[in-house]
Amino acid sequence: MTSSEKTRFLFLSFFKMWGLYILFYITVFILSIWIPELKSDTYEDNNLNELLQNNSFKLFVLACIFAPIIEEMMFRTLVKPTHSDIILFICSWPVFIGFHFLSTKIHWGITLAFSAVLLFTLFYILKHLITENHTQRLRNFLHKHLTIILILVSIIFGLVHINNYVDTFIIDLALIVLIIPRIISGFLMGWVKIKNQGLIWSIGLHFMNNIFIIGIGILISKKAETLSLVYVSL
């Protein structure tokens, strides 16, 4: 595929993703008439709502830059991986865990800069310590079971996002409704990586998805704020 064909496939995947979101939520809305447990309005992403109200710049950096890069390294590197993908997978998890630990104690910007330096450092060191021969058997296994790996990685990607809504891991119908769109997006991000033959393309799709959602959230937040000011002034 040429670069223009890959770009076209990226945008088609984005529109397909949102088409599936809409179809899914229409189905859930209809089913919730008979199954009230499907209604997910009992759960909220409090961190997201707080950032929307108080620090939209931080939200943009974390959700639209940091999250697409680190999460694609954590998950989609296992989908039809190259040697570098395996190294990035190994590096990304300690960086992700370290970021969430340090971000509660240190300013988020400093933590983000430290995470970037740590990621590059780990990658540089491991790239020289781990040869392609060391990862060959693992890569062969992951390539051989590509479909199963893609599905499993997509499901795990969805399950990890349960922590956006609850402090401890639980599962119920409402939470399943909330994570299925993540599973859909995870699958399509993996599919884009396979078809376009590069992690950068799944990062791109992840970025497009998140910035679209955050953009809608900011617009709704600003509109609600304006309406509340109008109401107060009446």
Mean pLDDT of all residues in 103-112 = 83
Residue 58, pLDDT score: 87
Residue 152, pLDDT score: 97
Question: Could you report the per-residue pLDDT of 138-179, keeping only the tens digit for each?
Answer: 999 999 999 999 999 999 999 988 887 877 777 788 888 889
Please check the confidence at residue 121 and state whether its pLDDT lies above 60: yes
Position 230 confidence tier, pLDDT thresholds 50, 70, 90: very low
Residue 223, pLDDT score: 56
**Number of residues that make up the chain:** 234
Please check the confidence at residue 229 and state whether its pLDDT lies above 60: no
Residue 11, pLDDT score: 96
Residue 25 Cα distances to 19, 30, 48, angstroms:
10, 9, 20
pTM equals 0.90
Asked if 142 contacts 149 with a C-beta cutoff of 8 angstroms, the reply is yes
Please check the confidence at residue 221 and state whether its pLDDT lies above 80: no
Residue 23, pLDDT score: 96
Please check the confidence at residue 37 and state whether its pLDDT lies above 90: no
Please state the separation of Cα 85 from the chain's center in Å.
Answer: 17
Please check the confidence at residue 226 and state whether its pLDDT lies above 50: no
Name 177's Cβ contacts closer than 8 Å, sequence gap at least 6: 28, 38, 40
Question: Could you report the per-residue pLDDT of 46-88, keeping only the tens digit for each?
Answer: 777 777 777 888 888 999 999 999 999 999 999 999 999 999 9
Residue 203 Cα distances to 121, 130, 212, 215, angstroms:
21, 24, 14, 18
Residue 135, pLDDT score: 95
Mean pLDDT of all residues in 198-220 = 91
Residue 71, pLDDT score: 96
